[in-house]
Structure 1
Amino acid sequence: MKLRKSFYSKSIVFFCKFFLIATLIIACHSTKINTSTQTTNNGCVQNYDLNTDYFPKKIKITHATGLIVEYHKHYKVVTIKNPWQNAKTTFQYVLVQCGTPTPQGFNQTQVITVPIKSIVSLSTTHLPHLVKLGVVDKLIGISNSKQVNTPDVIERIKAGKVAQIGNNSNVDIEKLLELNPDLVTTFGTGNSQTDSYAKLTEAGLKVGINAEYMEDTPLGQSEWLKFTALFFNKELQAENVFKEITYKYEQVAQKAKFVKNHPTVFLGFNFKGTWYMPGGKSYVAKYLADAGANYLWNDDKSSGSLPLSFEVVLSRATNADYWLNFSQSCQNLKDLVAEDNRYADFKAVKTGNLYNNNARVNVNGGNDYWESGNSNPDIVLSDLIKILHSEILPNHQLFFYRKLN
């Protein structure tokens, strides 16, 4: 009898110890404490230490010229140098690690706690960033759902997890305030009548201006993925993703580097009496140079668009080999000539060397070239090389571009 009681007593003690250990293990897993930075699964610091570097993984800007990042131990200062054409202002954001003190000397509108938990994007070009960084589940609002092509975002829209807020010039402020996102990403043009930045900040929202479109190289535009990453503390992921993008782009560019034939190319179309041609230092000109083209305006020194007359374009591009990126409404050669019968005078029209960047347009007219092209510059470049030097990439199928029939 004593032996049996002793056995039961030991069994109970063993069971209690086992239960206690199991409970502790479960508790530890539920808080998910990261011992390297002492943060919980919500990204906030538990016990702030002024000697700890809370951003051990840092990004380095290598191609973008309008983005500067300065790291401090518990906050990072992000500066946007050139937010729009001929801008006389810069923007600065102070991204403070959650659970650490706010640094002194900054305007409160500039201070944003990171990592953010929710985001609203007023530009479709920012959406692929969220997918590549693995944070698309944080997206709660967009400008116009009809323009979206990114599959992961479309799924969230269909599931009712993403609200429609309105475009840059006509944002529904009340709806945004109801959503109460940690961050709204937008862009600026310098036009106070259409830009949303001022009214969004006046409403008390945290706003980040993404100026990727001001970059004059494809990789410079693509690197603004890192701007998005900074708000999520996704530096490591951003560096890895951009490293892969850069490698792919440079590998493709290398294939066309030593071509002997450089076909002549022009772009754009006549719009209400003005033909807007990309400048010789624009990202489009860089694409064409890397694709082995002879861009007819590559001697120009500007990075913006050149407003030209039809006569000026015709005089220089009459005998050009290729015409790219014309009116999006043109579905065939008949449509093109119907817009302006003078187009028939171009050699590229007569030979049928017409390619447009509208191969991926959804039923509502949203063009994926303008959405995911920036994030996949290697594919854009591959398309251009396929068009101009098909023998270099024999297995590549046009993705963003299509030939006009």
Structure 2
Amino acid sequence: MMEQFRPLDKDVVSLLQRGLRQALASAIERMPFPYRPSSAAGKKGKNSPIQDFSLLSVPKSLTIVLVVGLLVTGGCRQLPSGPSVAENSACVTDYDPDTDYFPDKIQPEYAQGFSVDYYNHYKLVTVTQPWTAANETFKYLLVQCGTPTPSGFEATQVIQVPTQRVVTLSTTYIPHLELLDQVDALVGMDNLSFVYAPEVRKKIERDQLIEFSSGRTLDMERLLISAPDLIMAYGTGDPDVDSYNRLMQVGLPVALVGDYVENSPLGRAEWLLFTALFFNQEAQAQRVFGEIATAYESLVELTAHLSAQPTVFSGFSYEGTWYMSGGQSYAAQLLNDAGAAYLWANNDSTVTIPLDFESVFDQAATADIWVNVSQDWLSRDDAIATDPRYGQFEALKQGNVFNNNARMNNTGGNDYWESGAVNPHIILADLIKIFHPELLPDHELVYYQQLEP
């Protein structure tokens, strides 16, 4: 059983709780309720524009003409019919080289993977950490629509801003569009199955989004025909997996988002500012992220001087390997900031550590709390049915297993992996509630739930 821990001084707790209660309530209020799609979700009707339009029915010569035409007329163009676009689309009509077209400027404070240099009518964005241990950087020249492209950047990808039509190759970028009020700019995704965001699921039901992949293969023709201003993608450094090179080779505007490389929860959330650069939404991004950072740091202060901490471990065994979060990883920092004694905290890895079941059991058999288990587990019986050995962990015996699958829909979308990336303060509040419930007595779990007995 977990021991009872001595709480902080009551005056300190009261002071911190007053500010946190309002900030967390405001943040959670903005979050959509868990979505429950109807039985018709995902089915395309007879008059579906996606179903009726097939590139397979278009002659190859006509497809090439259409693609070339779209590429030649790119930039400040009249957009083709299709999904609605964002409203911040006005191009400059009377260019003045002495005018600063970007009065709102940002610089990342927590994120280490990108930077931006501002000039009067263009921004030079540099991604220095596109993937783990990357040894190359990527630059993007963001030119205000209606102004000339500067010389000297012939080898740099040029993208006109503000973006009006965006394609995302990961659901983790959807919350950026939501917080920047740019969901209307979303015209397609690589895979629609795992989307959680209710607003985006409505677009899917109305056939307003195009799906660009079949398995792990992107439909390049369909991507070209959709004429995106921006494709938000990720890289791994493995050419057999990455698609960004092929996209760039055919002239599509691609930006690599390296948020997942950040080990700091606030660093990962701050990539919201990166996305904002493409929409000229720096002011809104700075305001929203400022609220997130303030709430997160206040919660960290709440757990900074605890006299005792519960012992915690995470993960589960998958096909014979237990992938434990490294001691310097994103997940480990959340556990540390929440006031947990993470059993692998002394490990210096920033990624998961492959372990066998026995070595985990040797170290965590008597641990107080177990978190972040299989997404399929809802009860103690689910865990034991997967592997009876799980029943030997004291945390499972005592009912102290908490999973980050409280916000899942019936298409498989898990909001922890979607909006959780930009809501580290809410994840942290959940974990504090689990580890030290006396510190946040009014907080109700959002992303986490306790496994049923």
Residue matched to 1:77 = 124
1:55 aligned to 2:102? yes
1:92 aligned to 2:139? yes
Q: How does 1:189-268 map to 2 (within 5 A)?
A: 189-268=236-315
1:167 to 1:120, Cα distance in 2 relative to 1, 3 A: farther
Cα-to-partner distance string for 1:346-404 (whole Å, 9 max, x where unaligned): 11111111011001111011111001101111110111011111111111111111111
Q: Kindly provide the amino acid, as one letter, of the partner of residue 224 in structure 1.
A: W
> Which of 155, 169, 174 matches 2:216?
169
Q: Kindly provide the amino acid, as one letter, of the partner of residue 347 in structure 1.
A: E
Helix, strand or coil: the match of 1:65?
Answer: coil
Greater mean alpha carbon deviation, residues 219-228 or residues 94-103: 94-103
Q: Distance in 2 between matches of 1:319 and 1:392?
A: 24
Q: How far 1:117 sits from its partner (Å)?
A: 1.0
Residue matched to 2:198 = 151
Q: Distance in 2 between matches of 1:385 and 1:256?
A: 8
Q: How far 1:138 sits from its partner (Å)?
A: 0.6
Helix, strand or coil: the match of 1:146?
Answer: coil
Q: Distance in 2 between matches of 1:133 and 1:279?
A: 32
Greater mean alpha carbon deviation, residues 130-139 or residues 153-162: 153-162
1:381 aligned to 2:431? no
Helix, strand or coil: the match of 1:314?
Answer: helix
Residue matched to 1:65 = 112
Q: Kindly provide the amino acid, as one letter, of the partner of residue 394 in structure 2.
A: K
2:88–2:162 CA contact under 8 A, matched in 1: no
**TM-score (normalised: structure 2):** 0.78
Computing the radius of gyration from Cα coordinates, the structure with the larger value is 1
1:343 aligned to 2:377? no
Q: How far 1:223 sits from its partner (Å)?
A: 0.3
2:131–2:237 CA contact under 8 A, matched in 1: yes
Q: Distance in 1 between matches of 2:385 and 2:450?
A: 18
Q: Kindly provide the amino acid, as one letter, of the partner of residue 333 in structure 2.
A: K
2:141–2:156 CA contact under 8 A, matched in 1: no
Residue matched to 1:299 = 346
Q: Kindly provide the amino acid, as one letter, of the partner of residue 115 in structure 2.
A: I
Q: How far 1:108 sits from its partner (Å)?
A: 5.8
Q: Distance in 2 between matches of 1:153 and 1:366?
A: 12
Q: How does 1:282-321 map to 2 (within 5 A)?
A: 282-321=329-368
Residue matched to 1:397 = 444
Q: Kindly provide the amino acid, as one letter, of the partner of residue 260 in structure 2.
A: Y
> Which of 325, 329, 332 matches 2:379?
332
Cα-to-partner distance string for 1:173-198 (whole Å, 9 max, x where unaligned): 11111111100101111121121111
Fraction of identical pairs, as percent: 50
1:355 to 1:41, Cα distance in 2 relative to 1, 3 A: closer
Q: Distance in 1 between matches of 2:89 and 2:404?
A: 42
Q: Which runs of 5+ in 1 are unaligned?
A: 1-39
Cα-to-partner distance string for 1:41-93 (whole Å, 9 max, x where unaligned): 73322222222211111012100011111111211111111111222211111
Residue matched to 1:105 = 152
2:169–2:189 CA contact under 8 A, matched in 1: yes
> Which of 119, 131, 134 matches 2:181?
134
Q: How far 1:338 sits from its partner (Å)?
A: 1.9
Calculate the aligned-residue CA RMSD, in Å. Answer: 1.6
2:166–2:188 CA contact under 8 A, matched in 1: yes
Q: Kindly provide the amino acid, as one letter, of the partner of residue 110 in structure 2.
A: H
Q: Kindly provide the amino acid, as one letter, of the partner of residue 313 in structure 1.
A: V
1:94 to 1:315, Cα distance in 2 relative to 1, 3 A: same
Residue matched to 1:322 = 369
Residue matched to 1:10 = none
Cα-to-partner distance string for 1:210-245 (whole Å, 9 max, x where unaligned): 110000011100000011100011111111110011
1:209 to 1:41, Cα distance in 2 relative to 1, 3 A: closer
Q: How far 1:255 sits from its partner (Å)?
A: 2.1
Cα-to-partner distance string for 1:246-284 (whole Å, 9 max, x where unaligned): 112122222222222200101111112211111111111
Helix, strand or coil: the match of 2:124?
Answer: strand
Cα-to-partner distance string for 1:262-312 (whole Å, 9 max, x where unaligned): 001011111122111111111111111111000111111121111112222
Q: Distance in 2 between matches of 1:302 and 1:344?
A: 28
Q: How far 1:168 sits from its partner (Å)?
A: 8.8
Q: Kindly provide the amino acid, as one letter, of the partner of residue 95 in structure 1.
A: L
1:149–1:367 CA contact under 8 A, matched in 2: yes
Aligned residue pairs: how many?
366
Q: How far 1:145 sits from its partner (Å)?
A: 2.0
Q: Which runs of 5+ in 2 are unaligned?
A: 1-86
Cα-to-partner distance string for 1:309-347 (whole Å, 9 max, x where unaligned): 222211111111111111112221112112222212211
Deviation >4 Å, runs of 4+: none
2:315–2:373 CA contact under 8 A, matched in 1: yes
Q: Distance in 2 between matches of 1:366 and 1:155?
A: 14
Helix, strand or coil: the match of 2:193?
Answer: helix
